[in-house]
Amino acid sequence: MSANMTPAQLLASEPIDAVIQVLRERCSWPLMKRLLASKNLKPGGGWPDLRARAAKGDLDAQTINDLARRTYAGSILAGNRYVRLHELDPNVVTALWSRISTHVIPSSIFRARYPLPLVGSALDGAPSAFTLCEIRKTGSDIQFVFCSKQVIEESLTIDATSTPTVMSTFSQQFGIYDRFVAYKHTSIQCFDVVSLRPQLGRLEVALDLSKRSTEFEGDTRALALLFHVTLFLPELRPLVDAQQPTNLFPAIAEIYKSAANADTNIVDIGFRTPSGAVNRGKMPSTSEDIREEPFHKAGSERVDKKINPHGIVVAWAFSFPSGGARVKLWTSAAKSMVPIPSLWGLEIADTSADSDIVQALNKVSSYL
């Protein structure tokens, strides 16, 4: 961080144009439109138009400025996440509270710009190891934010006959090939979060899914992050040793069987029927529930609703505080056929604040 500036100060001092630019990487446009609507602002003509409106000196510009900064700050803890849950003994948190209060966060290349991301060569040269950048205390909750550089690999297969000029140059050095593959590596910065919520008896490992690196494997990475936390919080080591987080699979069927209401929409479902057929149903909108869709409803009632879901995507709307989330609990049909099916993590999307994450996870937990 710039000399003695807190993360909040750094964010507040960044030009709004730059803030919106980094916000685009962490907040989907549909979510941004909903947030603008909540402030009685029109969505206008997309991100370019939003930048232009934010630069005007009027009242709307000030509202957009505040909203953009607040949304970016919220996205550090929220946004799109892969989450695993562990049971947490509140006494453990009590025991390490004072130590955390005096813990000094080491300086790092990430911390110098935190909460804003590194860009360009600075990011390319940043470490891929989890790097602690913030310890945030809210009430009894403690949250650790780790930054790391990950890589997205893209490849392009090029048929030699379609690019004779390039092939000619290439073959002079390497010989004749029929096809070659070009790779591009793009660096991304991840903001992964470990949250201790003693009042909920829960530890959450929430991995950043704003952009998914090519090598991303949720369970392995979550375990690695938890292990990293135990290096300076050995009191949490038993959680790592136990290896298994909370099994979320039972929530799938319970959510499906729950009564339909205005704040809940099941928008995607994978299930097997009593005859063994593997089915999928997906709604085109998060405001429609597959359970009410005529085709699905007729089929479900035909088999007395005896279907076995192995995957579900549910969209929730929250009132206090207002917000929402889309949660995906999904395993394969094959993995659901074992005696005790398991699902160790879920994906949360379209969240703009930590309160959305908490409420979504509370919902899931209530069905366990």
Partner 1 sequence: MEINSRAELDSTLRRAWADGEELRLSFSILDFIANHPATAHIPYARLQQLAREQHLTDPLVVERVVQYLTGAEGHVLDLRAELIDENDDVHRLDEEEFQLAVTEHIHPLTGSVDPGLLTKLFVYFRPSRLARQVLWNSDGE
Cβ proximity to partner 1, 24 vs 136, nearer residue: 24
Which region, left, alpha or beta, applies to residue 5 given φ > 0 means left and ψ of -120 to 50 means alpha?
A: beta
- With beta carbons less than 8 A apart as the criterion, state whether 203 and 194 touch: yes
Nearest approach, Cβ of residue 166 and partner 1 (Å) = 24
Q: Interface with partner 1 includes 46 (CB under 8 A)?
A: yes
Binding span for partner 1 by CB under 8 A among 46-54, 189-197, 233-241, 359-367: 46-54
Binding span for partner 1 by CB under 8 A among 164-172, 280-288, 333-341, 345-353: 280-288
Nearest approach, Cβ of residue 333 and partner 1 (Å) = 17
Instruction: Give the DSSP H/E element, type plus range, for residue 70.
Output: helix 59-75
Nearest approach, Cβ of residue 69 and partner 1 (Å) = 18
Among 282, 302, 305, 335, binds partner 1 (CB under 8 A): 282
Q: Interface with partner 1 includes 274 (CB under 8 A)?
A: no
Binding span for partner 1 by CB under 8 A among 146-154, 157-165, 282-290, 303-311: 282-290
Nearest approach, Cβ of residue 265 and partner 1 (Å) = 14
Binding span for partner 1 by CB under 8 A among 29-37, 79-87, 216-224, 334-342: 29-37
Q: Interface with partner 1 includes 305 (CB under 8 A)?
A: no
Residue 199 corresponds to which amino acid?
Q
65 to each of 93, 138, 190, how far by Cα in Å? 37, 24, 24
**Which residues in the 47-86 window bind partner 1 by CB under 8 A?**
47-48, 50
Q: Interface with partner 1 includes 299 (CB under 8 A)?
A: no
Nearest approach, Cβ of residue 164 and partner 1 (Å) = 26
Nearest approach, Cβ of residue 337 and partner 1 (Å) = 23
Q: Interface with partner 1 includes 43 (CB under 8 A)?
A: yes
Does 294 sit behind a cis peptide bond, omega within 30 degrees of 0 on the bond before it? no
Q: Interface with partner 1 includes 177 (CB under 8 A)?
A: no
| CA dihedral sign of residues 33, 36, 40, 45 | negative
| CA dihedral sign of residues 124, 127, 129, 130 | negative
Q: Is 147 helix (H, G, I), strand (E, B) or coil?
A: strand
Binding-site size, partner 1 (CB under 8 A): 16
Q: Which of 147, 148, 149, 170 is nearest to 158 (CA)?
A: 170
8-state DSSP, 249: H
Tokens 């130590």, residue located: 99
Cβ proximity to partner 1, 50 vs 194, nearer residue: 50
Cβ proximity to partner 1, 29 vs 177, nearer residue: 29
Binding mask 6-25 for partner 1 (x = CB under 8 A): ------------------x-
How many other CB atoms sit within 10 Å of the CB of residue 207?
25
Among 120, 139, 276, 294, binds partner 1 (CB under 8 A): 294
Nearest approach, Cβ of residue 46 and partner 1 (Å) = 4
- d(CA 158, CA 285) in angstroms, rounded, equals 37
How many other CB atoms sit within 10 Å of the CB of residue 167?
19
Nearest approach, Cβ of residue 45 and partner 1 (Å) = 5
Among 21, 28, 186, 258, binds partner 1 (CB under 8 A): 28
14-19, long-range: CB < 8 A, 24+ apart? 14/116, 16/51, 16/54, 16/55, 16/64, 16/65, 16/68, 16/69, 17/51, 17/54, 17/55, 18/116, 19/68, 19/69, 19/72, 19/116
Which stretches of the chain bind partner 1, using CB under 8 A? Answer: 24, 28-30, 32-33, 43, 45-48, 50, 282, 284-285, 294
